[in-house]
Amino acid sequence: MRNFRAPWRPPALLASSRTVGRPWQRLHGVRYATLEAGEDDAGHISTKPNEGILFFDNVFPLKLQWLVTTPWQAEKSLAELTNRFNRPSLVAADPLKIMQRAYQKAQTGPESGQSTTVTEVLPRLKEGGAFVKFTYEAETTAKDVEKQIKAYLKENQIKPWWNPLQRMRANLVRGKPWVEDLYRLPSSRLKVEFLPTASGAEAAEMSQEQLFSFFRQYGKLADIVPQPPDSKILPKFAYLDYFSVKPAVMAKNCMHGFTVSEAEGGGNLGTVLRLTYERKAKAHWIRDWLSSHPRIVIPAAIALGTGITVAVFDPIRTFFIKAHIEHTFHVTDNPVYRWFKAQATGLLTTFRHRKDEDLGMEAIWEDRKENIEQIRTWLMETADTFIVVQGPRGSGKRDLVVEQALKYKKHKLVIDCKPIQEARGDAATIDAAAAEVGYRPVFSWMNSISGLIDLAAQGATGMKTGFSETVDSQLGKIWNNTATALKQIALEGRKKDDKDANLGDDEYLEAHPERRPVVVIDNFLHKSQEGNVVYDKIAEWAARLTTSNIAHVIFLTNDVSFSKSLSKALPDRVFRQIGLSDCSPEVAKRFVITHLDSDPDDLDVEGKPQKLTASQRRKDLGELDEVISLLGGRLTDLEFLARRIKTGETPKRAVQAIVDQSASEILKMYLFGVEESGRQWTAEQAWLLIKQLVTRETLRYNEVLLSDTYKTAGERVLRALEQAELISIVSSNGRPTLIKPGKPVYMPAFRLLVADHVLQARLDLAILAEQIKIETAGIDKYENELHLIGELPKQPPELAERVKWLLGKVQTAHAKVEAYERESGTLKKVLMSEY
């Protein structure tokens, strides 16, 4: 290659090249076409006799392929990139410079005398290379030029600065390359289609050996995949898989449009090869492995999800629980709010009055001052035990503990078991428990979804994965986070310079019981007959709090059998117990009078108290001494009485109205209002207790169980009636002994019901019918046994006493039936004669 010349183009030709949308540049007389759609946007590069085309790779980085996605800037970007990559400092990667240097080296070589001219350079930004069109003289061939360039590149190892590990390569274009600017990015897989050279002719399908001989020279092949034999797709094709993209780019640009002659196996008329990039499907081996091993993947995913939940959500939930206990987001606890409230107190004194309840309860707290001080004393002790405040509903347990005993306790948490126990469904139960302690965020709806996932995984793997959680486990998480928050609150006051700074956390909490928060569990064992899962978890959690010295725990319950449930959690501890009963008549009277005297109407126009209080102006309050004993000392009933007296009713009339209302409640709740299937007792069983309590006021527990009406599930019925508050059961040494009315006001209500002859006749008739049924069943049983004995062929003398006993039982039962029927007849006459 002795004479390397740059072409001369006439001015007219250059002018014609400056068309709109076809930017170009001249460098050393060589035209750089910067459009990627071929010459004249035809998609091809035209060649004349004695012209050839070389394709150089590694001219541009393949990472610049994203530029082809901006069609309105692609051509402009090509021109700028060509100038940038062909700067004098980077000319090592310029195909034109490479051919110039190859010519200079060939001047002294054995092939001197050859003459080659570069006429055009067509960059291919999308494929990272460039086409170089050249002319050669008649005494040489295009293959000689290719050989010379490849030898030069092999010897000099030209490596671009942006790809120092791979050298530049060049190959002669043997086919008719298709230069397109479509959004088809290079791939390591090529699709080779076999086309006929003329319409109507047949193309020969290349074998793997033939394809290997044509395409191996461009790079190492990974696989050759022929078309399936049974495929009907035309034209026929095959897939070529290279190990990398660059050999595939070189092969596609050099062999596209190549005609395989008959001698090379192309058939009678030859076969044209059409090459396109084929997007190779990835193996997805990770996904396939995951889907093929569910017994390993699903537990691992659960463990990972659990770990993320603990690491991310648990600190957030602990923060919200602390904020709930410390009232961080409560406006009323804000110092600014308290200051404004204190400043406005003096201005609003005239228009502000203390609540009736606050004034009325002072008499109650004065009477129970000893209980309040006892609770405060227990909270200062280090003993890890429960404090239980037991009393009937309406006895003021919560107000006694929260508003009085813990009045000055800063950190206290009140958990009401009632909304948790009454929640319907697992999600509602979890939401209710979370709301009581401020646990958020809570994803209770995930319980249903996780159950479906667990069911699907069980069908796929044949075993449960444990992904779904029970209410028991989710409640355990809520209580565990709450325990963590309580411990952090208890340890907040520690300082490094304290005298006991060397103590561990557990030793510090044990030595400072005053630092522990107080957890108040209200309505414990509320509706315990419906399930004990919630109460068992709370009792176990409370036991951990006390034994770990994290917090003091106070249970508020109206169930006298609380020791059975709490003993499971702390079997080796004695409970600190306070029993609240109804107020004495003196305290009850003082409570009602205090309510009356707190009426705002007792103030004159100037806001000053009148000379006489409401109780002093009332002439009928002397009746309180007579009616208080009927009403009893239940706080809810006393408040109701005070409100009715304020409306102008006399104490007797107010108490009579309360008694009438209680009687109506008893009829609706225990006798007629509830269907038999919705309660655990019958109307006859409840009525029998009402009649007997009217006669004796207290009943022996075991004596009631001996009656015919309570022979079946008697204890269960009595516990259900106690839970429904018709009766209250008094225990002694843990053993039930006495039965009393559930409320003091129920006793006069019982008398009122028994005094109704029609009601008594109706319910007594039902009891007699049940007793007649029981005795008749006994007679049938005795007669059947006598019948069996009578069928014996010979009566043994040993059965004489048995026969005599059976006859006596039949006689006694028959006498009872006759008496019951006579009494029933009398009751029927009452029902027929009275309304």
Check residues 139 and 111 and name the one with the higher pLDDT: 139
Query: Are residues 824 and 769 in contact, defined by beta-carbon separation less than 8 angstroms?
Result: yes
Rounded Cα–Cα distance for residues 485 and 12 (Å): 88
Is the predicted pLDDT of residue 102 greater than 90, yes or no?
no
CATH number at residue 395: 3.40.50
Do 2 and 96 sit in the same domain of this protein? yes
Check residues 215 and 25 and name the one with the higher pLDDT: 215
Cβ partners under 8 Å of residue 340, min gap 6: none
Q: What DSSP element (H or E) covers 136?
A: strand 129-136
Give the mean pLDDT of 53-79. Answer: 65
Instruction: Please say which residue of 550, 579, 608 terminates a domain.
Output: 579
* Percentage, residues of the chain above pLDDT 70: 77
Place 814 in a pLDDT band, splitting at 50, 70 and 90: very high
Q: How many CB atoms lie within 10 A of CB 284?
A: 10
Give the mean pLDDT of 498-512. Answer: 84
Residue with tokens 């309580």: 486
Do 323 and 470 sit in the same domain of this protein? yes
Query: Are residues 189 and 248 in contact, defined by beta-carbon separation less than 8 angstroms?
Result: yes
Characterise 452 by phi-psi region: left (phi > 0), alpha (psi -120 to 50), beta (else).
Answer: alpha
Domain assignment present for residue 706? The answer is: no
User: How do residues 317-330 score in pLDDT, each as one tens digit?
Assistant: 889 999 888 887 76
SS3 360: helix
Is the predicted pLDDT of residue 818 greater than 90, yes or no?
yes
- DSSP for 739-765 reads EEESSTTHHHHHHHHHT-HHHHHHHHH
User: How do residues 209-242 score in pLDDT, each as one tens digit?
Assistant: 999 999 999 999 999 999 998 888 888 999 999 9
Place 819 in a pLDDT band, splitting at 50, 70 and 90: very high
Is the predicted pLDDT of residue 466 greater than 80, yes or no?
no
Domain assignment present for residue 13? The answer is: yes
Q: What is the pTM of this model?
A: 0.61
Lowest mean pLDDT among 147-151, 357-361, 511-515: 357-361
Cβ burial, residue 666 (10 Å; 0-12/13-18/19+): buried
| Sheet with 727-732, side-by-side order of all strands | 699-700, 735-741, 727-732
Peptide bond just before 235 cis, omega within 30 deg: yes
If you average pLDDT over every residue of the chain, what do you get? 79
Give the pair of three-digit tokens for residue 413: 């948490």
Domain assignment present for residue 453? The answer is: yes
SS3 476: helix
Give the mean pLDDT of 5-32. Answer: 37
Rounded Cα–Cα distance for residues 6 and 22 (Å): 22
Place 493 in a pLDDT band, splitting at 50, 70 and 90: confident
User: How do residues 154-176 score in pLDDT, each as one tens digit?
Assistant: 888 788 777 778 888 899 999 99
pLDDT at 753: 93
Cβ partners under 8 Å of residue 576, min gap 6: 378, 383, 385, 386, 387, 388
Do 638 and 494 sit in the same domain of this protein? no
Query: Are residues 158 and 45 in contact, defined by beta-carbon separation less than 8 angstroms?
Result: no
Lowest mean pLDDT among 137-141, 607-611, 782-786, 790-794: 607-611
Is the predicted pLDDT of residue 22 greater than 50, yes or no?
no
Place 835 in a pLDDT band, splitting at 50, 70 and 90: confident
Range of the domain at 155: 1-181
Rounded Cα–Cα distance for residues 379 and 520 (Å): 12
pLDDT at 752: 92
For the chain, the straight-line distance linking the first and the last C-alpha, in angstroms and rounded, comes to: 135
Do 599 and 552 sit in the same domain of this protein? no
Residue with tokens 């002397």: 622
Place 82 in a pLDDT band, splitting at 50, 70 and 90: low
Rounded Cα–Cα distance for residues 100 and 134 (Å): 12
Give the mean pLDDT of 812-833. Answer: 91
Do 563 and 589 sit in the same domain of this protein? no
pLDDT at 199: 81
Rounded Cα–Cα distance for residues 788 and 790 (Å): 5
Domain assignment present for residue 219? The answer is: no
Do 573 and 606 sit in the same domain of this protein? no
Instruction: Please say which residue of 620, 648, 676 terminates a domain.
Output: 648
pLDDT at 161: 75
Tell me how many domains the chain contains: 4
Is the predicted pLDDT of residue 764 greater than 70, yes or no?
yes
pLDDT at 449: 59
Residue 433: C-alpha distances to residues 107, 436, 526 (Å)? 93, 5, 15
Is the predicted pLDDT of residue 647 greater than 60, yes or no?
yes
Give the mean pLDDT of 46-70. Answer: 77
Give the mean pLDDT of 813-823. Answer: 92
Is the predicted pLDDT of residue 437 greater than 50, yes or no?
yes
Angle at 582 between CA 581 and CA 584, to 5 degrees: 115
Do 333 and 396 sit in the same domain of this protein? yes
Instruction: Please say which residue of 151, 181, 211 terminates a domain.
Output: 181
Domain assignment present for residue 504? The answer is: yes
Rounded Cα–Cα distance for residues 213 and 219 (Å): 11
Do 360 and 421 sit in the same domain of this protein? no
Residue with tokens 């102008």: 648
Rounded Cα–Cα distance for residues 758 and 762 (Å): 6
Do 533 and 589 sit in the same domain of this protein? no
Domain assignment present for residue 270? The answer is: no
Domain assignment present for residue 672? The answer is: no
Do 500 and 428 sit in the same domain of this protein? yes
Radius of gyration of the chain (CA): 50
Give the mean pLDDT of 620-630. Answer: 79
Give the mean pLDDT of 88-99. Answer: 59
Lowest mean pLDDT among 144-153, 351-360, 364-373: 351-360
User: How do residues 721-740 score in pLDDT, each as one tens digit?
Assistant: 888 889 988 877 768 889 99
Is the predicted pLDDT of residue 28 greater than 70, yes or no?
no
Do 425 and 534 sit in the same domain of this protein? yes
Do 496 and 635 sit in the same domain of this protein? no
**Most confident of the following: 166-175, 278-287, 468-477:** 166-175
Rounded Cα–Cα distance for residues 722 and 736 (Å): 12
* Percentage, residues of the chain above pLDDT 90: 24
Find the length of the chain. 835
Domain assignment present for residue 710? The answer is: no
Lowest mean pLDDT among 33-42, 548-557, 764-773: 33-42
